[in-house]
């Protein structure tokens, strides 16, 4: 049982139409995935809407970062004779000490990084000096 050329062409056209519909469906799925699982950042939404200028957006970002730093750097002033219970006083005191440790840890990490940079600079200077000394010895015949 052989199909005629017209029947085969009709079948090919039907498959092409199905393929086109599937491509559109795939695009819709991709767009839905992007919308659900990769939401836009607040900055990109503000830029698209056009409510804020680029400078205002940057100022808002800087203000948010500054307020976050202020919250992280908070050190409560506690007094043992306040109206809070002894347990509360101890827990708040421990929290304040922990926050202070975090701040000190951050300072020490920054200092450590600066020390490592300085050590690398000194090591480089030392190696350059040794190379220069070796060149001088070779040039003037010292140590032969």
pLDDT at res. 86: 56
How high is the pLDDT of residue 98? 75
Cβ atoms of residues 98 and 74 within 8 Å: no
pLDDT at res. 80:
60
pLDDT tens for 53-100 read 778 878 888 888 888 777 666 665 656 666 555 556 677 777 777 777
Indicate the burial class of 37 (C-beta count within 10 angstroms; 0-12, 13-18, 19 or more): exposed
Cβ-count burial 47-66 (b if 16+ within 10 Å, e if not): eeeeeeeeeebeeeeeeeee
pLDDT at position 76 is 58
Q: What is the pLDDT of residue 75?
A: 60
Tens-place pLDDT, residues 90-135: 777 777 777 777 788 888 888 999 998 999 999 999 999 988 888 8
Give pTM, 2 decimals.
0.32
More confident residue, 9 or 89: 9
CA–CA gap between residue 120 and residue 72 (Å, rounded): 32
- What's the mean pLDDT in 31-49? 69
Report the pLDDT value the prediction gives residue 54, as an integer from 0 to 100. 78
Give the integer Cα–Cα distance in Å for 14 and 8.
Answer: 10
Task: Please name which of 79, 100, 99 lies closest in space to residue 88, comparing C-alpha atoms.
Answer: 79
From residue 122, alpha-carbon distances to 84, 116, 134, 144 in Å are: 54, 10, 18, 29
**Both tokens assigned to 77:** 């002033």
CA distance 111 to 139: 42
Q: Kindly compute the dihedral angle of the four CA atoms of residues 21, 23, 29, 33, in this order, to the nearest 10 degrees.
A: -170
């Amino acid at each position: 049982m052989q199909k005629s050329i017209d029947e085969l062409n009709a079948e090919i056209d039907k498959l092409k139409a199905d393929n086109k519909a599937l491509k559109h469906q795939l695009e819709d799925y991709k767009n839905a995935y992007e919308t659900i699982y990769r939401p836009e950042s607040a900055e990109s939404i503000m830029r698209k809407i056009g409510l804020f200028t680029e400078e205002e957006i940057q100022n808002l970002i800087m203000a948010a970062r500054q307020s976050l730093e202020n919250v992280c750097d908070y050190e409560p002033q506690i007094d043992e004779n306040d109206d809070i219970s002894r347990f509360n006083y101890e827990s708040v005191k421990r929290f304040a000490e922990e926050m202070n440790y975090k701040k000190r840890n951050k300072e020490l990490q920054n200092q450590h990084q600066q020390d490592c940079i300085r050590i690398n600079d000194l090591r480089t200077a030392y190696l350059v000096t040794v190379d220069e000394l070796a060149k001088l010895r070779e040039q003037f015949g010292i140590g032969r």
